[in-house]
Structure 1
Protein backbone atom coordinates (compact mmCIF):
# COMPACT_ATOMS: atom_id res chain seq x y z
CA UNK A 1 0.00 0.00 0.00
CA UNK A 2 2.80 2.40 0.92
CA UNK A 3 4.59 1.63 -2.36
CA UNK A 4 1.44 2.45 -4.33
CA UNK A 5 1.09 5.79 -2.52
CA UNK A 6 4.70 6.67 -3.30
CA UNK A 7 4.27 5.67 -6.96
CA UNK A 8 1.11 7.78 -7.19
CA UNK A 9 2.86 10.77 -5.63
CA UNK A 10 5.75 10.47 -8.11
CA UNK A 11 3.32 10.18 -11.02
CA UNK A 12 1.35 13.27 -9.99
CA UNK A 13 4.52 15.29 -9.33
CA UNK A 14 5.85 14.39 -12.79
CA UNK A 15 2.50 15.26 -14.37
CA UNK A 16 2.48 18.62 -12.60
CA UNK A 17 6.01 19.42 -13.79
CA UNK A 18 5.12 18.43 -17.37
CA UNK A 19 1.99 20.60 -17.24
CA UNK A 20 3.95 23.58 -15.94
CA UNK A 21 6.60 23.14 -18.66
CA UNK A 22 3.98 22.70 -21.38
CA UNK A 23 2.05 25.82 -20.42
CA UNK A 24 4.97 28.05 -19.47
CA UNK A 25 5.59 31.24 -21.39
CA UNK A 26 8.89 31.43 -23.29
CA UNK A 27 11.77 32.72 -21.19
CA UNK A 28 12.63 36.33 -22.01
CA UNK A 29 15.87 36.97 -20.06
CA UNK A 30 18.79 35.11 -18.50
CA UNK A 31 17.26 35.88 -15.09
CA UNK A 32 14.20 33.92 -16.25
CA UNK A 33 16.51 31.07 -17.27
CA UNK A 34 18.17 31.08 -13.83
CA UNK A 35 14.79 31.04 -12.08
CA UNK A 36 13.56 28.16 -14.26
CA UNK A 37 16.66 26.10 -13.50
CA UNK A 38 16.51 26.96 -9.78
CA UNK A 39 12.93 25.66 -9.68
CA UNK A 40 14.24 22.28 -10.87
CA UNK A 41 16.96 22.05 -8.19
CA UNK A 42 16.16 20.46 -4.84
CA UNK A 43 19.37 20.20 -2.80
CA UNK A 44 19.29 18.18 0.41
CA UNK A 45 18.57 20.30 3.48
CA UNK A 46 21.93 19.52 5.09
CA UNK A 47 24.03 20.55 2.07
CA UNK A 48 26.03 23.75 2.33
CA UNK A 49 28.07 25.38 -0.37
CA UNK A 50 28.21 26.38 -4.00
CA UNK A 51 29.10 24.74 -7.28
CA UNK A 52 29.54 26.78 -10.44
CA UNK A 53 28.57 25.00 -13.64
CA UNK A 54 29.56 25.94 -17.17
CA UNK A 55 27.30 25.02 -20.09
CA UNK A 56 25.87 26.16 -23.40
CA UNK A 57 22.43 26.10 -24.99
CA UNK A 58 21.26 25.55 -28.52
CA UNK A 59 18.63 27.96 -29.79
CA UNK A 60 15.98 25.27 -29.35
CA UNK A 61 16.48 25.27 -25.56
CA UNK A 62 18.52 22.07 -25.29
CA UNK A 63 22.08 21.75 -24.05
CA UNK A 64 25.23 21.55 -26.13
CA UNK A 65 26.95 18.79 -24.18
CA UNK A 66 26.78 18.16 -20.45
CA UNK A 67 27.28 20.90 -17.83
CA UNK A 68 30.78 20.96 -16.31
CA UNK A 69 31.73 22.10 -12.81
CA UNK A 70 34.24 24.97 -12.87
CA UNK A 71 34.33 25.78 -9.14
CA UNK A 72 33.31 23.63 -6.19
CA UNK A 73 33.08 25.04 -2.66
CA UNK A 74 30.97 22.49 -0.83
CA UNK A 75 31.14 21.42 2.82
CA UNK A 76 31.82 17.75 3.47
CA UNK A 77 33.82 14.87 2.08
CA UNK A 78 34.30 13.83 -1.55
CA UNK A 79 31.06 11.83 -1.55
CA UNK A 80 29.08 14.86 -0.31
CA UNK A 81 30.69 17.09 -2.97
CA UNK A 82 29.92 14.55 -5.71
CA UNK A 83 26.26 14.38 -4.64
CA UNK A 84 25.99 18.18 -4.52
CA UNK A 85 27.55 18.64 -7.96
CA UNK A 86 25.50 15.75 -9.37
CA UNK A 87 22.26 17.28 -8.10
CA UNK A 88 23.00 20.62 -9.78
CA UNK A 89 23.85 18.92 -13.09
CA UNK A 90 20.71 16.79 -12.86
CA UNK A 91 18.62 19.92 -12.21
CA UNK A 92 19.77 21.48 -15.47
CA UNK A 93 19.16 18.28 -17.40
CA UNK A 94 15.70 17.83 -15.81
CA UNK A 95 14.65 21.31 -16.99
CA UNK A 96 15.50 20.67 -20.62
CA UNK A 97 14.35 21.74 -23.04
CA UNK A 98 13.76 25.31 -22.00
CA UNK A 99 11.49 27.50 -24.08
CA UNK A 100 13.25 30.69 -25.17
CA UNK A 101 11.62 33.77 -26.63
CA UNK A 102 12.65 34.51 -30.22
CA UNK A 103 14.95 37.34 -29.08
CA UNK A 104 16.63 35.28 -26.36
CA UNK A 105 17.06 32.26 -28.65
CA UNK A 106 18.73 34.43 -31.29
CA UNK A 107 21.47 35.51 -28.88
CA UNK A 108 21.88 32.47 -26.67
CA UNK A 109 22.97 29.70 -29.04
CA UNK A 110 26.53 28.52 -28.45
CA UNK A 111 27.41 31.03 -25.73
CA UNK A 112 29.07 29.62 -22.64
CA UNK A 113 27.27 30.41 -19.39
CA UNK A 114 28.58 29.93 -15.87
CA UNK A 115 26.02 29.74 -13.10
CA UNK A 116 26.66 29.25 -9.38
CA UNK A 117 24.26 26.88 -7.60
CA UNK A 118 24.14 27.78 -3.89
CA UNK A 119 22.39 25.65 -1.28
CA UNK A 120 20.14 27.56 1.13
CA UNK A 121 21.84 28.94 4.21
CA UNK A 122 20.21 30.15 7.36
CA UNK A 123 17.77 32.90 6.47
CA UNK A 124 17.21 31.64 2.91
CA UNK A 125 14.14 29.62 2.00
CA UNK A 126 15.19 28.52 -1.47
CA UNK A 127 18.38 27.48 -3.20
CA UNK A 128 19.68 30.02 -5.68
CA UNK A 129 21.01 29.86 -9.21
CA UNK A 130 22.71 33.13 -10.03
CA UNK A 131 22.86 34.36 -13.62
CA UNK A 132 25.14 37.30 -12.69
Structure 2
Protein backbone atom coordinates (compact mmCIF):
# COMPACT_ATOMS: atom_id res chain seq x y z
CA UNK A 1 0.00 0.00 0.00
CA UNK A 2 1.44 3.37 -1.01
CA UNK A 3 1.76 6.46 1.12
CA UNK A 4 -1.14 8.12 -0.71
CA UNK A 5 -3.49 5.25 0.16
CA UNK A 6 -2.50 5.45 3.82
CA UNK A 7 -3.09 9.20 3.90
CA UNK A 8 -6.36 8.76 2.01
CA UNK A 9 -7.62 6.11 4.43
CA UNK A 10 -6.61 8.12 7.48
CA UNK A 11 -8.27 11.30 6.27
CA UNK A 12 -11.56 9.71 5.34
CA UNK A 13 -12.31 8.42 8.82
CA UNK A 14 -14.02 11.06 10.89
CA UNK A 15 -17.17 12.48 12.33
CA UNK A 16 -20.28 12.96 10.25
CA UNK A 17 -20.68 16.46 8.84
CA UNK A 18 -23.67 18.60 9.62
CA UNK A 19 -25.78 19.09 6.48
CA UNK A 20 -29.06 20.97 6.45
CA UNK A 21 -31.07 18.50 4.36
CA UNK A 22 -30.84 15.18 2.56
CA UNK A 23 -29.98 15.18 -1.13
CA UNK A 24 -32.89 13.90 -3.21
CA UNK A 25 -31.42 14.32 -6.71
CA UNK A 26 -27.99 14.05 -8.31
CA UNK A 27 -28.01 17.82 -8.79
CA UNK A 28 -28.56 18.31 -5.05
CA UNK A 29 -25.89 15.72 -4.23
CA UNK A 30 -23.28 17.50 -6.38
CA UNK A 31 -24.28 20.90 -4.98
CA UNK A 32 -23.87 19.68 -1.41
CA UNK A 33 -20.57 17.93 -2.19
CA UNK A 34 -19.27 20.92 -4.13
CA UNK A 35 -20.15 23.40 -1.39
CA UNK A 36 -18.70 21.16 1.29
CA UNK A 37 -15.50 20.11 -0.46
CA UNK A 38 -14.09 23.58 -1.12
CA UNK A 39 -10.35 23.53 -0.54
CA UNK A 40 -8.95 25.51 2.34
CA UNK A 41 -5.57 27.18 2.27
CA UNK A 42 -3.42 25.73 -0.50
CA UNK A 43 0.25 26.63 -0.87
CA UNK A 44 0.61 29.36 -3.50
CA UNK A 45 3.19 27.28 -5.33
CA UNK A 46 0.59 24.46 -5.66
CA UNK A 47 -1.92 26.78 -7.34
CA UNK A 48 -2.96 25.24 -10.63
CA UNK A 49 -2.98 21.70 -9.22
CA UNK A 50 -5.96 19.40 -9.67
CA UNK A 51 -7.05 15.90 -8.66
CA UNK A 52 -10.01 13.71 -9.50
CA UNK A 53 -11.08 11.35 -6.73
CA UNK A 54 -13.24 8.33 -7.56
CA UNK A 55 -15.32 6.88 -4.74
CA UNK A 56 -18.58 5.04 -4.12
CA UNK A 57 -21.23 5.55 -1.50
CA UNK A 58 -23.48 3.14 0.31
CA UNK A 59 -27.24 3.51 0.30
CA UNK A 60 -27.01 5.65 3.47
CA UNK A 61 -24.50 8.11 1.96
CA UNK A 62 -21.45 6.72 3.77
CA UNK A 63 -18.25 5.73 2.01
CA UNK A 64 -18.11 2.31 0.34
CA UNK A 65 -14.62 0.92 -0.08
CA UNK A 66 -11.43 2.87 -0.63
CA UNK A 67 -11.44 6.07 -2.73
CA UNK A 68 -8.72 6.44 -5.33
CA UNK A 69 -7.20 9.27 -7.28
CA UNK A 70 -7.84 8.68 -10.97
CA UNK A 71 -6.18 11.84 -12.25
CA UNK A 72 -3.76 14.39 -10.91
CA UNK A 73 -1.91 17.34 -12.26
CA UNK A 74 0.30 18.65 -9.50
CA UNK A 75 2.52 21.70 -9.51
CA UNK A 76 5.00 22.97 -6.95
CA UNK A 77 7.60 21.12 -4.95
CA UNK A 78 7.00 17.69 -3.40
CA UNK A 79 5.87 19.17 -0.07
CA UNK A 80 3.37 21.49 -1.72
CA UNK A 81 2.03 18.62 -3.80
CA UNK A 82 1.58 16.46 -0.67
CA UNK A 83 -0.19 19.37 1.05
CA UNK A 84 -2.52 19.78 -1.92
CA UNK A 85 -3.38 16.05 -1.97
CA UNK A 86 -3.91 16.00 1.80
CA UNK A 87 -6.09 19.11 1.61
CA UNK A 88 -8.14 17.62 -1.21
CA UNK A 89 -8.74 14.38 0.67
CA UNK A 90 -9.53 16.24 3.88
CA UNK A 91 -12.09 18.32 1.97
CA UNK A 92 -13.89 15.16 0.86
CA UNK A 93 -13.59 13.65 4.32
CA UNK A 94 -15.45 16.63 5.81
CA UNK A 95 -18.42 15.85 3.56
CA UNK A 96 -18.98 12.17 4.26
CA UNK A 97 -21.32 10.64 5.10
CA UNK A 98 -23.65 12.80 3.04
CA UNK A 99 -27.34 12.51 3.88
CA UNK A 100 -29.36 11.15 0.97
CA UNK A 101 -32.98 10.17 0.60
CA UNK A 102 -33.88 6.49 0.24
CA UNK A 103 -34.58 6.96 -3.46
CA UNK A 104 -31.27 8.64 -4.27
CA UNK A 105 -29.40 6.25 -1.97
CA UNK A 106 -30.74 3.29 -3.94
CA UNK A 107 -29.78 4.92 -7.23
CA UNK A 108 -26.18 5.78 -6.29
CA UNK A 109 -25.29 2.84 -4.03
CA UNK A 110 -22.09 1.22 -5.27
CA UNK A 111 -21.79 3.36 -8.40
CA UNK A 112 -18.51 5.19 -8.99
CA UNK A 113 -18.68 8.93 -8.39
CA UNK A 114 -15.96 11.33 -9.50
CA UNK A 115 -15.17 14.62 -7.80
CA UNK A 116 -12.63 16.99 -9.34
CA UNK A 117 -10.87 19.39 -7.00
CA UNK A 118 -8.75 22.24 -8.29
CA UNK A 119 -6.59 24.98 -6.89
CA UNK A 120 -6.95 27.98 -9.11
CA UNK A 121 -4.04 30.19 -9.94
CA UNK A 122 -4.36 33.59 -8.30
CA UNK A 123 -5.55 36.41 -10.53
CA UNK A 124 -2.77 38.60 -11.81
CA UNK A 125 -3.07 42.29 -11.08
CA UNK A 126 -3.19 44.49 -14.17
Q: Hey, what's the Cα distance between the residues in 2 that align with 1:53 and 1:85? A: 10
Q: CA deviation at 1:95?
A: 1.2
Asked if the contact 1:43/1:84 (under 8 Å) is kept, the reply is no
Counterpart in the other structure of 2:35: 39
Q: Which has the higher helix share?
A: 1
**Shift, 1:75, TM fit:** 1.5
TM-score (norm 1): 0.66
- Give structure 1 stretches of 5+ with no counterpart: 1-16, 124-132
Q: CA 1:117/1:108 → structure 2, altered by over 3 Å: closer, same or farther? A: same
Partner Cα distance (1:102, 1:29) in 2: 11
1:92 shift after superposition:
1.5
Q: What does residue 118 of structure 1 align with?
A: 118
**Mapped partners of 2:64, 2:39: distance in 1:** 23
1:94 and 2:91 matched: no
Residues 119 and 30 (structure 1), Cα distance of their counterparts in 2 relative to 1, 3 Å cut: farther
Unaligned runs of 5+ in 2: 1-15
Q: Deviations over 1:65-92 (max 9, x none)?
A: 2321111112212222222122121111
Greater relative contact order: 1 or 2 (C-alpha under 8 angstroms, separation 6 or more)? 2
Secondary structure of 1:52 counterpart:
strand
Q: 1:30 aligns with which of 9, 15, 26?
A: 26
Partners of 1:38 and 1:48 lie apart in 2 by 18
The answer to whether the Cα contact below 8 Å between 1:69 and 1:85 also exists between their aligned partners in 2 is: no
